[in-house]
Each structure stands twice: as C-alpha cells, then as structure tokens.
Homo-oligomer: A and B are copies of this chain.
Amino acid sequence: MRVCVAGAGAIGSLFAAHLTRVAEVSALVRREGHARGLRQQGLRVSGRGDFTARLEAATSPDALDVPDFVIVACKGTDLDAVGSQLHGHWPDALLMTVQNGIGADEVIGRHGDWRQLAAVTFMSGTRHSDTNIEYVLDTATWIGPARGATPVDAREIADLIVAAGLKAEAFDDLRPAQWSKLIFNATVNTVAALTGLPHDTHFAALHNPDDLGHLVRALMDEGKAVAAAAGIELGEDPWEMNVLATKRGSAHYPSMLEDVEAHRRTEIDMITGALVRQARRLGVPVPLHETMERLIKAKEDSWA
C-alpha cells in the first residue's frame, strides 16, 4: 500500500514515520528544504518512539508516486491551499482529514471528488525540527466515514494505523466524537491562547467565583446546547475530558497558544468559528463563544 501524508507538522510526521513500518510512505510538504531534509535524513522519532523512518518527500504531487491513501494532516489554516495543490490529482485515492474542529472534509471536497474519511486525533507530538519529532501522547485517532467513504474503509484504515504502532479506532458515525472534541477544543484552545496558561489545573478550578473553571464549564455548556440542537449525542463529555486531562499532571500546550505566541494565524475559524456558525444556524445563543472568537480575531489583528 502507498500512503501520502500531506502536511508534515507534528501530527503528520507521527503518522508518516510510523506508517513506514507497514506501507510505502511519502510526504507532501510546502518547503523544498523540508522535503530535501526528509529525503536525505529521514524522519527521526523520539519520546515514546525511538527510530528513524525513510520516506519520499516532495513539494508537488507530480513528483510522488500515486498513493492509495492520503492523510491530509496540515493545519486547518492551510487546508484550502493543500486542497488546491491536490486538485486534479489521485482521483482514486482515499483521503482522510485530521484537523481540529469540523468541516475539513467540506473544504477539501471543494477541490475534488475524492472519497473521504474524517478523523479526530488525541495523540500529540512536539516538532523539534523538520526531521525530528518527539512522540508525546500516545492516545488514539478516531476515524469515521465522511464524503463517499464507508464504515469498512474506516475500519481498514484504523487497522492499518494500529499495525503501524499507533492507536486508532473506527466509528460508523464520527460526529459524536468530533463534536466532543470540537467543544473541548473551542474552549481549551481559546482560553489557553487568551490567558497564556497551558491546559493545567486552572481549567478545572471551581473554588472561587472568579476561578477559570467556571468559564470553562460555561463555554462547554454552550457547546453542548448547540450539539443537542443539532441532534448530536456527544461521545465523551467535554467537561470530564477537561477534568481528566488537567489531573494528568503534565500540562498540555494547546496549539492555539503556540500559534498566538508565534504570532501565527490561529485555527479559530475551523474551531470556535464552526461552532458559532452552527449555533447561529440552529438559533442557539452562544455569547461566550462569540466573545472568545472576537477576542482571538482581534488578537490576530494586533500583530497584523
């Protein structure tokens, strides 16, 4: 089987490196220096793994063998650019988007009629360089059918990823999981990005009226009301995910906080923006998520 990973950030690199154990892997990246580094030095995994993977890499689909399966692992803010790049290529390939938020399959779908799976991933890594990725959290990737793909496709890809040494699970309907993570991310990412706090015990603190946990819970309650109005029965409860995660000890650094500190555009449109759009469509008031969206967008403007 031939697999291409489009976008080799932390998540894409983890998929690419592990999948070399069970497939021929290529990476489609934006910078020529990145592609050359991967071709010449391979991709080194540290942390929970300890190996160097060999793979092809290029900045154009034309330079790569036609893959059977493509993981679109770029950031949400790059989805449209990656979709444009894939346009007209590899019509028979199965694609899988793995961005935060919801709606990634729709963005890619505007560029071609590929069969698509959608995934949410809970694994995490720290990218030390183009060719060195630290595997941090070995939690699962959840996979379900999106446009044209089937539950059988989802199970086959979950099996492939498990065979590669990562955790994965297939669902006939991914939306309950996707929405749980959407609500979790819309809350934790924006609160972290605005306060500068990693996802630590502050997020579950409810002792004093001005404790942050009250805001976190209120944001999640707004999100749950939107999910209920959309007829989605949530998978895990976002507040319980939050409490559990903050008890783990090592505080996770949410990607939106990293974006803000690096003065990069955030994924706010695909996360909180997506939730707010659904809320407006359904007539559910979400004043706190609107507040977070407006603050993050204004923050982006502050360094523009």
Contact = CB atoms under 8 A, between A and B. Distances in A.
Interface of A: 191, 194-197, 202, 209-212, 214-215, 218, 273, 276, 280, 287-288, 290-291, 293-295, 297-299, 301-303
A163 to B, nearest CB: 42
Given A287-B287, A287-B288, A301-B202, A295 B194 contact: yes
Given A210-B273, A303-B196, A191 B298 contact: yes
Given A295-B191, A298-B191, A298-B202, A290 B197 contact: no
B290 A195 contact: no
B298 A195 contact: yes
A183 to B, nearest CB: 17
B290 A210 contact: yes
A173 to B, nearest CB: 30
A65 B191 CA distance: 51
Q: Which 8 A-B pairs have the closest CB atoms?
A: A196-B302, A195-B298, A215-B294, A212-B298, A195-B299, A197-B302, A194-B194, A212-B294
Contact of A291 (B197, B202, B215, B276): B215
A243 to B, nearest CB: 17
Contacts of A197: 298-299, 301-302
Given A194-B295, A195-B298, 14 more contacts: A191-B298, A194-B194, A195-B299, A195-B302, A196-B299, A197-B298, A197-B301, A210-B293, A210-B297, A212-B294, A214-B290, A214-B294, A215-B290, A218-B291
A214 B215 CA distance: 20
14 contacts: A191-B295, A194-B194, A194-B295, A194-B299, A195-B295, A195-B299, A210-B290, A210-B297, A212-B294, A212-B295, A214-B290, A215-B290, A218-B287, A291-B291
Of A209, A211, A294, A297, most buried by chain B (CB within 10 Å of CB) is A294
Contacts of A294: 210-212, 214-215
A218 to B, nearest CB: 7
Contacts of A196: 299, 302-303
A256 to B, nearest CB: 14
Contacts of A290: 209-210, 214-215
A301 to B, nearest CB: 6
